[in-house]
Amino acid sequence: MSQPVSGTEGYAEEAGELFTRYENIRSADAHRAVLHLMPSSPRRVLDIGAGTGRDAAWFADMGHHVVAVEPTDALRLGAIARHPSPAIEWLNDSLPDLALLRRRNATFDLVMLTAVWMHLDIEQRRRAMPNLASRVADDGMVIMTLRHGPVPPGRRMFEVSPDETTELVRPYGLQLMLNVHSESIQAANRPAGVSWSTIALVKANST
């Protein structure tokens, strides 16, 4: 059996439970802090670490074209079955390299990283940032959520601050426009002290 992509440890084994848990949370609730930043007309959306496809399907339903990146087979194949849509293209790709996407040289108006970035260690985050920034179109946006709190058993996570992330993106033309901290939307996580930072980064037009 192949080894999981670094950072995805535990997700294949818990795929069934994760489908139940994530699909019971509305995307509009999960992303309430940035709803006002979401594009209102059809755009190119990249969902990195798309998981069960909940958000990819949400964007597709709003008329966007979505490229959904998910390296865990159990999640990606289950998501394709659960959320069939001609507006969603699924890719078996992953950070920090995003090798398939880089070969395409495509850019996107909105890049989502929901509960993804904290799975990378500091060296992986440094390596990933130029690959991520190069996928963002001029005037495009990155929306990222960062988990804070105890690491669940069997998972690989690191404490990542919005300040560190803002510094990492600065050389690549991305600037912080929003930073919101909130308690976990999952009631079971709140007593454990789990909270989240949601940050939005905008790429300046290079022309």
DSSP sequence for 84-105? --TTEEEE---TTT-HHHHHHT
Query: What is the structure's pLDDT at 92?
Result: 96
pTM, two decimal places: 0.92
CA 43, distance to chain mean position in Å, is 17
Query: What is the structure's pLDDT at 4?
Result: 67
Question: Could you tell me if 155 and 4 are in contact, meaning their C-beta atoms sit under 8 angstroms apart?
Answer: no
Q: Report the candidate in 116, 117, 119 with the shortest Cα–Cα distance to residue 157.
A: 119
Report, in angstroms and rounded to the nearest whole number, the Rg of the chain calculated over CA atoms.
Answer: 16
Query: What is the structure's pLDDT at 60?
Result: 98
d(CA 36, CA 200): 11
Residues of the chain with pLDDT under 50: 1
Domains of the chain with CATH codes: 15-203 (3.40.50.150)
d(CA 47, CA 65): 11
Helix axes 162-169, 122-133, angle to 10 degrees: 50
CA 115, distance to chain mean position in Å, is 6
Q: Where do runs of H (alpha helix) occur along 42-98?
A: 54-61, 73-82
Question: Could you tell me if 56 and 76 are in contact, meaning their C-beta atoms sit under 8 angstroms apart?
Answer: no
Query: What is the structure's pLDDT at 1?
Result: 42
CA distances to 17, 47, 53, 181 from 69, rounded to whole Å, are 20, 6, 10, 26
d(CA 30, CA 183): 11
Please identify which residue in the block is written with the tokens 């994760």: 18
d(CA 68, CA 98): 12
For 90-129, the pLDDT digits (tens) are: 999 999 999 999 999 999 999 999 999 999 999 999 999 9
Instruction: Pull the structure tokens for residue 75.
Output: 């999640």
